[in-house]
Chain A
């Protein structure tokens, strides 16, 4: 009896906050108009959305941002294996690299929106160092705006990876490493053959978590850094949903894109579940 009582609040919370909206959002995707004037339109929303260049571009941007995931994973692994050797000051370095992760993306976005202006701090610095060619209009050019956002994302998320990987590495049994060392294995070999494979599960966890993050938790950056511009160049799915659903009251469009976003997230989850199942068998 008691387990059901204990679990009831959680079920209630999940029912209200997850199940009800999920059902609603699917239902709403078949309607058009604002909340007080909804009319049934069948699959018209899906057709229109898929044909909307801004939607396609937003989706493409989320996919482009996925590129940051291997980048931050590789960087985090590199730093973690170096910290694992317990170089001098490793705890301090870990603390420093983790700090950006906990800071509010809004405040960070504001800071970077000034740093990344065309004649802002970063470019001034690059130009002074003679690297003016590497100083584009980060936030004002359609080709650079998504990499710029990606850079800010990596800057913030890196610390999380470093901490999680370092902790996992530190927890590894030292005997295996010692044995390999005695056998004459080089530093790189130890990292590649022994350390990293042993923390594979954590790495997978991090990769999936970050993939979902760039798919559905980058609204803050886009809203503060670029407002989706220039000319929708940096729009992402969350931004598209917010803009159409709330700024402009097009509930149907926003719900449709929400359903699509959910479908994408499910794909990622399915992949992750597969990986976990495979690991469990191993």
Chain B
């Protein structure tokens, strides 16, 4: 007879975990749908008359859409750039006989764990001197660079599991490395690339510190930096603030719900054993 945690207890733990994981998100949602008066009267209860007024105000009257657009532009640009850079580099590292490959990988590993905050001030001064402060280009450049080490690590891991025969076959056929990359490797790497893109996109979307420092002009803020402005300005209107927060998490939730299975599989494939 196997001694194990009884099923009932296991289900209880799971349910408790689910409740704890979901309640704050639920609280966010239900508060965003209340008026300030409703919230004061009943912070925990369900909204008696759910209202979209806060969302309307946030989207139509406040700079939230502008901020969201900034975040979107920055995300798409920096993820694209870093992915391309990393694909090229990883391909070269895995499928060539270049010297210093191992050394580069080790350096890369080290870079992955450098806290961006340590690089912030010199980058800030650099952007000031280059006249890029308060422009989206500044964060795009910084984010792209920051994501390269992890992306390289990820693709190297993935490419190492690649059937080398396919590469050799293509080379024998006279294909250039670029062609091989495009025609042979990429089509098979769609899932992994997709996963990396999503992981990085979420990181950029969620990033606060760098955006706060480089983009201080109210109109140039990303959504996260803009939300912190909200917090101060509408400190006494919690439902409005959380309506803004709701707008910031919706894209992430949508991506998650749509691609969740993919995501989990790809994440673990890239991290390796």
Contacts and interface: CB of A to CB of B under 8 A. Distances in A.
Are A and B in direct contact (Cβ within 8 Å)?
yes
Interface of A: 2-4, 6-7, 9-10, 13-14, 16-18, 20-22, 24-25, 28, 35, 78-79, 82, 85, 87-89, 93-100, 102-108, 110-115, 120-121, 124-125, 155, 158-159, 163-164, 167-168, 171, 181, 186-188, 201-202, 205, 208, 212, 215-217, 219-220, 223-224, 237-238, 241-242, 245-246, 251, 254-255, 258-259, 261-262, 265-266, 268-269, 273
Nearest to B7: A87
Contact of A220 (B18, B86, B208): B208
Contact of B88 (A6, A25, A106): A6
A111 B28 contact: yes
Residue in B141, B206, B267 whose Cβ sees the most chain A Cβ within 10 Å: B206
Contact of B86 (A10, A167, A215): A10
Interface stretch (B46-54, B55-63, B110-118, B158-166): B110-118
Given A100-B25, A110-B227, A202-B273, A163 B267 contact: yes
Contacts of B114: 18, 22, 262, 265
Contacts of B11: 87-88
20 contacts: A9-B88, A17-B148, A87-B7, A87-B14, A93-B14, A94-B264, A95-B260, A99-B25, A100-B24, A106-B206, A106-B245, A168-B268, A216-B118, A220-B206, A224-B231, A251-B121, A251-B125, A262-B118, A265-B114, A266-B110
Contacts of A188: 3-4
B249 to A, nearest CB: 5
Contact of A99 (B22, B84, B97, B110): B22
A104 B3 contact: no
Given A3-B96, A102-B256, A216-B117, A187 B3 contact: yes
B248 A238 contact: no
Q: Interface of chain B, helix or strand or loop or mixed?
A: helix
A14 B231 contact: no
Contacts of B5: 82, 187
A177 B251 CA distance: 41
Interface string B94-113: 00111000001010011101
Interface string B122-149: 1111101000000000000110111011
Interface residues of B, number: 92
Contacts of A237: 117
Contacts of A120: 43
B231 A110 contact: yes
A121 B4 contact: no
B31 interface: yes
Contacts of B97: 3
A6 B92 contact: yes
A171 B273 contact: yes
Contacts of B248: 104, 106-107
Given A25-B122, A106-B208, A124-B44, A13 B242 contact: no
B120 A155 contact: no
B258 interface: no
A183 to B, nearest CB: 12
Contacts of B206: 103-106, 220
Nearest to B250: A107
Nearest to B118: A258
B272 to A, nearest CB: 9
A108 B228 CA distance: 12
B4 to A, nearest CB: 3
A124 B43 CA distance: 10
Residue in A104, A110, A124, A254 whose Cβ sees the most chain B Cβ within 10 Å: A104
A222 B270 CA distance: 31
